[in-house]
Amino acid sequence: MSFTYAQLKQAIQDFTDNSETSFVTNLPIFIRGVEDRIFSLVDLELFRKNATSALSSNDPFLSCPLDYLAPFSLQITTATKQDFLLFKDVNFVQQYHLDVGANGLPKYYGIFDIDNFIVGPTPDDNYTVELHYYYRPASITAGTDSATSWLGENAPNALLYGSLVEAYTYMKGEQDMMQLYEQRFGQELMRLKDLAEARENSDAYRRGLPDQPRT
């Protein structure tokens, strides 16, 4: 089974028995909400890519790519070597810079806000960096009614049950139905996680990384 955008919208209306105009208007919001939820909870290797950027001297901030979802690794290049920065909580990174008390070669990075990373210590020079990150793929709602997406083809039930949780929340629906769809969504999410783990490569450095926080 798979869903096109039109089929998914119709399934949500059928399951909720709701075709009221304002409800239908909000269907894309429900769907995008669950897409974000899925991609923030499951690391899918096929949605990883690299971006080269630069750190500027005396500036601890690095802009996130527009399609950024979650970090995988950040590598910094100097004249003599390449090093991976360690991912840490933003408070740790800021405190580390205060403890060091001087600019230097960054050792840590963290998420400062929705648009920026922060590194510590603050760079003492200009450095080239390579960010390896999970990106947000195009939503099924971005295409025509006949279009589909990776989730629509590979995790249609997760997309449906998650959308139903969003829909019942909007409708202030029955708690038992919300709990049922949340449970089914959780089951489908576990299947997707198992799929992701089965496909994950055996990169030695990746296995040595601390768990990445989910945002």
123-146 residue pLDDT tens: 999 999 999 999 989 999 998 999
Separation CA 16–CA 60 (nearest Å): 49
> What angle separates helix 156-171 from helix 175-199, to the nearest 10 degrees?
150
pTM of the predicted structure, to 2 decimals? 0.73
Query: Six-digit token pair at 167?
Result: 């829909």
Taking the CA of residue 54 as centre, how many other CA atoms within 13 Å lie in the half-sphere pointing to its CB?
6
**pLDDT class for 198, splitting at 50, 70, 90?**
low
Assess contact for 162 and 34: CB atoms under 8 A: yes
Separation CA 129–CA 209 (nearest Å): 18
The pLDDT, as a whole number, for residue 205 is 44
**pLDDT class for 200, splitting at 50, 70, 90?**
low
Residue 3 burial by Cβ neighbours in a 10 Å radius (0-12, 13-18, 19+): buried
Query: Six-digit token pair at 1?
Result: 């089974």
Q: Is the pLDDT of residue 214 over 50?
A: no
Query: Of 201 and 199, which is predicted with more confidence?
Result: 199
Q: Is the pLDDT of residue 207 over 60?
A: no
Q: Which residues contact 99 (CB under 8 A, 6 or more apart)?
A: none
**Percent of the chain residues past pLDDT 70, beyond the cut:** 92
Mean pLDDT, residues 97-103 taken together: 86
**pLDDT class for 213, splitting at 50, 70, 90?**
very low
